[in-house]
Amino acid sequence: MDYVYFDLSIGDLQCGRVVFELFTKDAPLNSNNFINLCENKSYVNTYFHKIIKNFIIQGGNININSNNDNIASNYPNIDNLAVDNDTDEFLDDENLINLDKSFLLCLTNFNKKNHNNSQFFITLNQCPHLNGKHTVIGKVIYGKSILREIEKSNVISNKLNDKLSWIPSIPIIITDCGKWNNLMSLPNKFACIDNIGGDIYEEYPDDNDFDKLNINFENIQQSFEITMKIKESATLLFKNKRLEDSLLKYKKALRYCNELIPDENSNKEMFINFQNLKLTIYLNLSLVSLNLNNYELCINYCGILLQLNDNKDVKLTNIQMAKIFYRLGKSYRLLKKFDIAYETLNKGLIIVPNDISIKNEFEIVMKIISKNKETERINYAKFFS
């Protein structure tokens, strides 16, 4: 097997590494040309110049690059980003298979036969109208979540017959490329790829290799068990004090929970199980956020939990309510919003009057408020003396 990688950035944000497995047996001519382009660093500082959500990401115009000069700045020669390569050297078509899945690596041919060079596109969905029309040279095996994040990018225009159509508003740049082997790292800004606890699944449920993993999300019990496994993976990361990774994993678990939850009318029991799991995930997200000193995010997650408590089928326990009001109160205190912290903790004590954590936090806030009032009184006295 032959593998190559792209390191990608969105403006100045380093996103991570995407790895392709190349179909060197089925498309030897074009696959080996792609390998040579990567090894020779021909793609470095070139752009992903077309992003169409739920369709493709396109790049590979090696005639236009950022020249290492402020790579996050405006595009050079923007009108020619998406034009054909300026060369007479093109390779014959190979492996003209159906584009029946996401993350296939294909070559752009500008609707011409045997017209393959450096430009490529990556499928983001099935593309049946392109079946048999493009040489397919590989597939993405790592970094799918990076491409999904890039897929969300705003574009300059989405009008047909506009030279600027589908060009990302913020340049997306290949900062490095080359051959890859399994001893090399897989940096990823948007996901924790550690399979601790048995999490071997992609960031987005539909991006999994269903046959390879033998999974079927129509099986609700299996869907629930997979979501639980991802949640437990996040918990193990938290116990290992890998807070940023834990946050990413809990977000992944929440994504699975939201996407795989069955309809209430089709399976009420599993619907309630998923809803309870969602409460637990949000509680854990609030805890990790608090430990990361991201108090605004913690407050946001706690607010969502209180909204979810309005659900007639799923209710927060007193222990869970205590955790929420404690985390809310502490977050407001650390944001120096002492009056809101006081009101929040006071509400918590009404609901769970014997909770030690809330009581201790309430005393801290009371002392701060009292000290602030005393300081204010002294300052006023000095002013009028």
pLDDT digits (tens, 9 = 90+) for 301-312: 999 999 998 877
Q: Find the angle CA(161)-CA(162)-CA(166) to the nearest 5 degrees.
A: 110
Shared domain for 63 and 166, answered yes or no, is yes
Residue 383 placed within a domain: no
Q: Is 71 helix (H, G, I), strand (E, B) or coil?
A: coil
Shared domain for 293 and 356, answered yes or no, is yes
Domain range enclosing 58: 2-179
In CATH, what number is assigned to the domain containing residue 75?
2.40.100.10
Cα–Cα distance between 107 and 87 in angstroms, integer? 16
In CATH, what number is assigned to the domain containing residue 306?
1.25.40.10
Shared domain for 229 and 92, answered yes or no, is no
Shared domain for 161 and 261, answered yes or no, is no
Query: pLDDT for 81-134, tens place per residue?
Result: 888 776 778 999 999 999 999 999 999 999 999 999 999 999 999 999 999 999
Shared domain for 78 and 174, answered yes or no, is yes
Residue 81 placed within a domain: yes
**What pLDDT, on a 0 to 100 scale, did the predictor assign at position 71?**
42
CA-wise closest residue to 283 among 319, 324, 242: 324
Residue 187 placed within a domain: no
**What pLDDT, on a 0 to 100 scale, did the predictor assign at position 385?**
60
Count of alpha carbons within 13 angstroms of residue 273, beta-carbon side = 15
| β pairing state of 104-107 and 56-59 | unpaired
Host H or E run for residue 273: helix 268-291
Q: Tens place of pLDDT for every residue, the chain, 385 residues?
A: 899 999 999 999 999 999 999 999 999 999 999 999 999 999 999 999 999 999 999 999 998 887 644 444 477 788 788 887 767 789 999 999 999 999 999 999 999 999 999 999 999 999 999 999 999 999 999 999 999 999 999 999 999 888 889 999 999 999 999 999 999 999 999 999 999 999 999 999 999 999 999 999 999 999 999 999 999 999 999 999 999 999 999 999 999 999 999 999 999 999 999 999 999 999 999 999 999 999 999 999 999 999 998 877 888 999 999 999 999 999 999 999 999 999 999 999 999 999 999 999 999 999 999 998 887 776 766 666 6
Shared domain for 100 and 41, answered yes or no, is yes
Shared domain for 212 and 299, answered yes or no, is yes
Q: Using an 8 Å Cβ cutoff, are 215 and 222 in contact? A: yes
Residue 261 placed within a domain: yes
Total number of domains constituting the chain: 2
Residue with tokens 């169409």: 52
**What pLDDT, on a 0 to 100 scale, did the predictor assign at position 161?**
84
Shared domain for 103 and 20, answered yes or no, is yes
Cα–Cα distance between 332 and 369 in angstroms, integer? 13
Q: How many helices (H) and strands (E) does the chain have?
A: 10, 8
Residue 153 placed within a domain: yes
Residue 43, both tokens: 């793609």
Residue 220 placed within a domain: yes
